[in-house]
Structure 1
Amino acid sequence: MEKYIEIIKNSYTGYWSYLKNEILLQNQWDNYFYGLILVSIIVWGLEIVFPWRKDQARLRKDFWLDAFYMFFNFFLLNLIVLIALSNTTEAFFNDILSLIGLSSSDVQLFDVDALPRPIGLLIFFLVSDFTQWNTHRLLHRVPFLWNFHKVHHSVKEMGFAAHLRYHWMEPVVYKSLLYIPIAVIGGFDAQDVAIVHFFALTIGHLNHANLGWDYGILKYIFNNPKMHIWHHAKNLPKHTKYGVNFGISLSIWDYLFKTSHIPSDGKDIELGFEGDERFPKDFLQQEIYPIKLKS
């Protein structure tokens, strides 16, 4: 137990130093802080220049709430929960393996370092995205998880910042389920993670933006605004009661596994979920909503 407490303590102090370096521009090529700001400004600019819903305000409904969620979930949440969780999960996983006489290298199917870098990055991206697609489906199908995911689906007007409106429990689920397949492959370095992360961040921002794009023939590969808006539709056919279009970065999984649904343009459909008129409107109440349901 002392080992895990020490890991958590070191995780906090290490991440706090990292965050300061981000803000003070000590980290250059993989600066998440300014990378998030830059991607957000670019996609917001595209919304302003090429608005799909022309009557939607530039500072749409809940714009500032979503902006707060972006920075809370991207930085403070990492400091409070995820860094310590990731490090302790890794240590716990390795300890379990050691009990049966194995190490993390023993469970690796292959090491991507042995492959050409573009192929390694592609494998990392595909494994990550497919795992997250399945996790996203779980968030809709398991009632306990759906109560947390409702925060993301409480968005009533779509815009880029809605991408990072989610409950802090969601990344705990995502990262926990993602750890094992990534550990089985192995060999990724920080630069690989940063490249894939910024690519996924950009696609996620675009998916939620006020843009009427579907990327032509590439819509069958990449998730897009015209597809993702139907994921947020309040009213769907009964046979899709658990949701549709679960893709994170890629749409191909939805087409392969028959969960795609784009019946029409979708430009002016109502967003949300059944009963969302009673869902809390402020950050703190949204965060404690799933807990209050159990009390």
Structure 2
Amino acid sequence: MDKYLNILKDSYQGYFNYLLDEITRFHWENYFYGLILVSLVVWGLELLFPWRKNQKVFRKDFWLDTFYMFFNFFLLNLIVLIFLSNTAEALFNDALGLIGLQVSDFQLVNADALPYGLGLVLFFLVSDFVQWNTHRLLHRVPVFWNFHKVHHSVKEMGFAAHLRYHWMEPVVYKSLLYIPLAIIGGFDVADVAIVHFFALTVGHLNHANLGWDYGVLKYIFNNPKMHIWHHAKVAPKNHRYGVNYGLTLSLWDYLFGTNHIPHDGRDIELGFEGDETFPKDFFKQETYPLSNKRKTK
């Protein structure tokens, strides 16, 4: 028990010091100012090349999504995720120890042993595929869908909608992402930052008010014209749980037949069935999945 109490203490103290350092000191792996920079660049692109030209600069729920963006990217880690992540890792390691194993026994690839960049690409592909499958689970499992509804309550797309999600989602994502982290090791902070900021940028672009599909690269990378159909209020009859699950890569949707772009989706209605009664403010959206009045899809 003392071990886990120390994890609790060290998690909060360590992340608070980290967050303070992020805000007060600039460095190339700085996630705080990196988020701001990526957001400003993509927002600027929205203003210069708007797909929906009648959409306001400060679109519907712009400030709510901006709050979600900083809350989920930083404060959520401080409040719960770092402690949960560290505790889950310790419990997993302890459980393996009981049967005479350790995490290194599962490591199939060491990135340090591969040519520079190859291990990073491998890690990116494996982690993105795990996240694609996790995203499908969020739509297919009713209890997960009730949490994921927060993200799909967006009615007008914009870059900040990327990070509007319930705090339970990263708990699920991070738990399953422990698999590729266990299989592939040998990364340093700079490597992880590269993958992280690339995924962040693509995610912002996917939700932005931009009519881009990247030409032939649309079969590899997720894009605004594809992702808007993931947010369509009415799902295709042959895909009742949704389509276009890709986060960074669209590749998985084309490979497994969940791609769907029937026509230009610029003006389609966004949301989900019954979203008219979905809460409009942050605190009610966060407590919605715990309500006895919730409805599954």
| TM-score > 0.5, shorter chain as reference | yes
User: Larger deviation: 195-204 or 94-103?
Assistant: 94-103
In structure 2, what is the equivalent of residue 232 of structure 1?
231
Q: Please state if 1:185 is matched with 2:184.
A: yes
In structure 1, what is the equivalent of residue 5 of structure 2?
5
In structure 2, what is the equivalent of residue 62 of structure 1?
61
2:160 and 2:172 map into 1 onto residues whose CA distance is: 21
8 Å contact kept, 2:42–2:208: yes
2:261 and 2:31 map into 1 onto residues whose CA distance is: 33
Calculate the TM-score normalised by the size of structure 1.
0.98
1:42-121 alignment runs, 5 A limit? 42-121=41-120
1:293 and 1:225 map into 2 onto residues whose CA distance is: 35
In structure 1, what is the equivalent of residue 207 of structure 2?
208
Deviation at 1:236, TM superposition (A): 2.1
Which consecutive residues of structure 2, in runs of 5 or more, have no partner in the other structure?
A: none
Question: Percentage identity across aligned positions?
Answer: 76
Name the amino acid aligned to 1:20.
L
Deviation at 1:87, TM superposition (A): 1.1
Deviation at 1:22, TM superposition (A): 0.5
Deviation at 1:294, TM superposition (A): 7.5
| 1:184-208, Cα deviation, whole Å (9 max, x unpaired) | 2222222211110000000000000
Which consecutive residues of structure 1, in runs of 5 or more, have no partner in the other structure?
A: none
8 Å contact kept, 1:156–1:270: yes
2:130 and 2:293 map into 1 onto residues whose CA distance is: 28
8 Å contact kept, 2:123–2:180: no
Deviation at 1:181, TM superposition (A): 2.4
1:1-295 alignment runs, 5 A limit? 1-25=1-25, 27-293=26-292
1:249 and 1:92 map into 2 onto residues whose CA distance is: 30
Equivalent residue of 2:291, what SS?
Answer: helix
8 Å contact kept, 2:236–2:242: no
8 Å contact kept, 1:132–1:174: yes
8 Å contact kept, 1:127–1:182: no
| 1:206-260, Cα deviation, whole Å (9 max, x unpaired) | 0000000000000000000000000000012221110000000000000000000
Q: Aligned in 2, Cα 1:294/1:272: closer, same or farther, shift over 3 Å? A: closer
1:85 and 1:120 map into 2 onto residues whose CA distance is: 27
1:104 and 1:128 map into 2 onto residues whose CA distance is: 17
Name the amino acid aligned to 2:83.
A
Deviation at 1:113, TM superposition (A): 1.2
1:266 and 1:90 map into 2 onto residues whose CA distance is: 42
8 Å contact kept, 1:60–1:159: yes
* Alignment RMSD: 1.1
Deviation at 1:264, TM superposition (A): 0.3
8 Å contact kept, 2:235–2:241: no
Calculate the TM-score normalised by the size of structure 2.
0.97
Deviation at 1:36, TM superposition (A): 0.3
| Aligned structure 1 segments of 4 or more residues deviating by more than 4 angstroms | none
| 1:22-66, Cα deviation, whole Å (9 max, x unpaired) | 0001x5011000000000000000000000000000100000000
